[in-house]
C-alpha cells in the first residue's frame, strides 16, 4: 500500500485505498441482495449484511474462512458446493445454482446463487463473486412478475394502472378493447377523453382509493365509452363494469407513498340487463294480476278500463291517454276522429279521471302517432326532436319527450287508441315496452267494448 497523504491545512485525509475500501464496503452492505466473494484459493473475502441476515453469520465470522464447509454448508455437501462455486472460474459467463446452506442456528436454507468470475489485473481469474437469495423469495418475485405479465397479456378482464394524477399509465389488451382504443393511445390521457357518462363516478372511486384504500367489495359502474374511430359515431351504449380497485404503494420507503391505483373490471352488461328485464317482467306481471283483481270488483266497464291504465302506469310511463272512435270499426277508413275519454292529470302523474264520451274530437294533426296507430291497427313509437313545442303541437303535456300509441282492438274491431307518455328523464320506449302496451291495450279494449255494447 502507498503511504497516506500528509495532513493539509484543513486536517488529515485518509489514503485513497482506504476510501475505496470504505466505499466498497458501504455499497456491498447497502445492497438488497446477499453478496459474498472468494479468492482463487476459495477463501471468503467479502460478506455483506444481507448475507448475514439470511444465514446469521457476521462478516467477522465469515471473512477469511476457506470454503463453506463446516459452517455455512454441511461437510457432506461442502466439496460439491465449493467445487461448483469455484468452477465458474473455468467457464465464461454467469452460473446459476441452487444449494442448501446452513444458518448459524443450524437450520437449512435453500438459496439460489448467481456466480461469476472476478478477473485480476492480468486478466486471469482472481476469484469468484456470488449473489444469492432464498429460493422462496426469488420464486415470489418470479411469480409477481409472471402475474403482472399475465394480467397485462390476454387476461379475460380489463386491467388499467392509473397514476396519482388519474391518468392511465398501463393497460392490457382487454381494457383497450373495452375503451375502444389501443393500449398506447390511452396512456397519459384524462379519463374524460375516454369515457363520456360515468367518468365522475370512476374518478371519484379512484380518488377514494388513493386517499383511503381499496373498498371492501367490488362495485358496479355504468359508463358510456367515447368513440375514437374516424367513422360515424355509433349510438352511445351504456356498459356496466364490475370494478375492483387496489391502491399501489412503493415498498422502498418507510412511509407508504401511493403510486397509483390498479383498476380491474369485467363487463357484466348482458347479465345486468337480463336481470333488469327479468325484474321488469315480474313487476309488470304482478301489476296485471293486481289490476285483474281490482277490475273484477268494478261495476262500470269504463271505470275498469281506466283502472287498468292506472295500474299499467306504475314504473312504465308518466301519463296515459285514452281516445275512442265515435263508432268501432274493423278497419278505420277516411278521416279519423278521436274523442278523449280518460287522461292522467297533465300537471302530475295520478289517477285517470273519466270524461264524457260525447265530447268534441281531439284536434290531432295529420300524421299524429295516435292516428297512425289506429290506421295500422298496431303500435307506433315517437321521440321528441329539437323543436321546443314538440309536445304542445301533439296535444300532450309539457315535458313529454317519448310516446307510445297502441290501437285498442276488441272482437275484430278498433275501438280507439291508448297513448303512454314519458318525460325527458326517462328512456325511450322500446319493443318490449310496445309488447307490454299491447297487452294492456287488449284488456282496456275489452272493457271499453263491453261499455259501448251496454250503452
**105-134, pLDDT tens digit by residue?**
888 888 889 899 988 888 888 899 898 888
Q: Is the pLDDT of residue 68 over 50?
A: yes
Question: H/E element holding 162?
Answer: strand 158-163
Spatial CA neighbour of 222 closest among 258, 195, 254, 245:
195
Question: H/E element holding 444?
Answer: helix 431-453
DSSP single-letter state for residue 206: H
Q: Label residue 9 by pLDDT band (50, 70, 90).
A: very low
Please report the pLDDT score of residue 7 as a whole number: 40
* 292 or 230, higher pLDDT: 292
The gap from C-alpha 71 to its chain's centroid, in whole angstroms, comes to 55
Please report the pLDDT score of residue 221 as a whole number: 93
Q: Which grid cell is 243?
A: 370494478
Q: Is the pLDDT of residue 10 over 50?
A: no
Please report the pLDDT score of residue 359 as a whole number: 63
Please check whether residue 132 is in contact with residue 153, taking contact to mean a CB–CB distance below 8 angstroms. Answer: no
Please report the pLDDT score of residue 231 as a whole number: 41
Q: Is the pLDDT of residue 214 over 60?
A: yes
Please report the pLDDT score of residue 1 as a whole number: 35
- At 163-189, the pLDDT tens digits run 988 999 988 889 998 998 888 888 889
Please report the pLDDT score of residue 184 as a whole number: 87
The sheet with strand 400-410 has its strands ordered as 339-343, 319-329, 413-423, 400-410, 379-383
Q: What is the mean pLDDT of residues 414-425?
A: 91
Parallel/antiparallel/unpaired status of strands 34-39 and 319-329: unpaired
**385-394, long-range: CB < 8 A, 24+ apart:** 393/365, 394/364, 394/365, 394/368, 394/369
Kindly report which listed range (3-7, 221-225, 387-391) carries the lowest average pLDDT score. Answer: 3-7
Please report the pLDDT score of residue 141 as a whole number: 67
Q: What is the mean pLDDT of residues 427-455?
A: 88
Q: Which grid cell is 40?
A: 482463487
Q: Is the pLDDT of residue 254 over 80?
A: no
Where does residue 411 fall: left (phi above 0), alpha (psi -120 to 50 degrees), or beta otherwise? left
Please report the pLDDT score of residue 2 as a whole number: 37
Spatial CA neighbour of 33 closest among 99, 102, 119, 115:
115
- CA 212 to each of CA 47, 190, 199, 265: distance values in angstroms, whole numbers, following the listed order: 42, 22, 20, 20
What residue has cell string 285517470? 352
Please report the pLDDT score of residue 229 as a whole number: 55
Q: b/e per residue, 35-69, with b = 16+ CB within 10 A?
A: bbbbbeebebbbbbebbbebbbbebebbeebebbb
Supply the mean pLDDT for the chain.
83
Please report the pLDDT score of residue 5 as a whole number: 41
For a pLDDT cut of 70, what percent of the chain falls above it? 85
Please report the pLDDT score of residue 420 as a whole number: 93
Q: b/e per residue, 175-200, with b = 16+ CB within 10 A?
A: bbebbebebeebbeeebeebbeebbe
Q: Cα separation of 291 and 310, whole Å?
A: 9
Please report the pLDDT score of residue 204 as a whole number: 93
Please report the pLDDT score of residue 343 as a whole number: 83
Please report the pLDDT score of residue 14 as a whole number: 46
Q: Label residue 31 by pLDDT band (50, 70, 90).
A: confident
Q: What is the mean pLDDT of residues 238-256?
A: 80
Q: Cα separation of 62 and 42, whole Å?
A: 12
DSSP single-letter state for residue 3: P
Which of the listed ranges 52-61, 228-237, 251-260 does the model predict with the highest average pLDDT?
Answer: 52-61
Kindly report which listed range (33-47, 62-76, 226-240, 380-394) carries the lowest average pLDDT score. Answer: 226-240
Q: Is the pLDDT of residue 244 over 90?
A: yes
Amino acid at each position: 500500500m502507498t503511504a497516506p497523504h500528509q495532513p493539509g491545512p484543513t486536517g488529515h485525509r485518509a489514503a485513497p485505498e482506504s476510501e475505496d475500501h470504505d466505499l466498497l464496503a458501504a455499497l456491498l452492505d447497502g445492497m438488497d441482495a446477499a453478496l459474498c466473494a472468494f479468492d482463487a484459493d476459495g477463501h471468503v473475502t467479502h460478506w455483506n449484511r444481507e448475507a448475514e441476515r439470511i444465514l446469521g453469520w457476521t462478516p467477522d465470522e465469515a471473512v477469511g474462512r476457506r470454503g463453506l464447509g463446516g459452517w455455512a454448508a454441511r461437510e457432506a455437501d461442502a466439496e460439491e458446493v465449493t467445487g461448483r462455486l469455484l468452477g465458474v472460474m473455468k467457464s465464461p459467463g454467469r452460473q446459476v445454482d441452487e444449494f442448501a446452506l446452513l444458518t448459524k442456528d443450524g437450520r437449512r436454507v435453500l438459496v439460489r446463487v448467481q456466480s461469476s468470475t472476478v478477473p485480476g489485473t492480468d486478466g486471469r481469474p482472481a476469484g469468484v463473486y456470488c449473489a444469492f437469495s432464498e429460493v422462496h423469495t426469488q420464486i415470489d418475485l418470479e411469480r409477481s412478475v409472471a402475474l403482472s405479465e399475465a394480467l397485462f397479456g390476454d387476461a379475460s378482464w380489463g386491467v388499467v394502472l392509473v397514476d396519482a394524477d388519474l391518468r392511465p399509465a398501463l393497460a392490457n389488451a382487454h381494457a383497450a378493447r373495452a375503451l375502444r382504443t389501443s393500449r398506447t393511445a390511452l396512456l397519459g390521457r384524462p379519463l374524460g377523453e375516454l369515457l363520456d357518462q360515468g367518468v365522475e363516478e370512476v374518478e371519484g372511486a379512484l380518488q377514494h382509493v388513493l386517499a383511503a384504500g381499496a373498498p371492501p367489495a367490488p362495485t358496479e359502474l355504468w359508463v358510456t365509452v367515447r368513440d375514437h374511430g374516424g367513422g360515424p359515431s355509433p349510438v352511445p351504449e351504456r356498459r356496466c363494469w364490475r370494478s375492483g380497485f387496489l391502491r399501489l404503494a412503493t415498498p422502498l420507503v418507510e412511509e407508504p407513498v401511493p403510486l397509483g391505483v390498479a383498476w380491474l373490471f369485467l363487463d357484466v352488461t348482458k347479465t345486468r340487463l337480463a336481470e333488469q328485464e327479468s325484474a321488469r317482467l315480474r313487476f309488470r306481471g304482478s301489476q296485471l294480476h293486481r289490476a285483474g283483481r281490482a277490475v273484477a270488483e268494478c261495476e262500470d266497464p269504463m271505470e275498469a278500463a281506466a283502472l287498468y291504465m292506472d295500474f299499467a302506469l306504475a314504473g312504465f310511463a308518466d301519463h296515459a291517454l285514452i281516445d275512442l272512435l265515435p263508432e268501432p270499426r274493423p278497419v278505420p277508413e277516411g278521416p279519423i276522429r278521436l274523442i278523449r275519454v280518460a287522461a292522467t292529470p297533465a300537471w302530475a302523474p295520478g289517477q285517470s279521471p273519466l270524461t264524457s264520451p260525447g265530447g268534441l274530437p281531439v284536434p290531432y294533426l295529420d300524421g299524429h302517432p295516435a292516428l297512425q296507430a289506429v290506421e295500422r291497427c298496431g303500435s307506433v313509437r315517437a321521440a321528441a326532436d329539437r323543436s321546443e313545442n314538440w309536445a304542445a303541437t301533439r296535444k300532450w303535456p309539457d315535458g313529454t319527450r317519448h310516446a307510445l300509441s297502441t290501437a285498442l282492438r276488441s272482437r275484430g274491431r278498433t275501438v280507439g287508441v291508448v297513448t303512454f307518455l314519458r318525460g325527458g328523464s326517462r328512456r325511450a320506449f322500446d319493443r318490449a315496452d310496445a309488447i307490454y302496451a299491447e297487452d294492456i291495450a287488449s284488456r282496456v279494449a275489452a272493457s271499453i267494448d263491453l261499455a259501448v255494447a251496454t250503452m
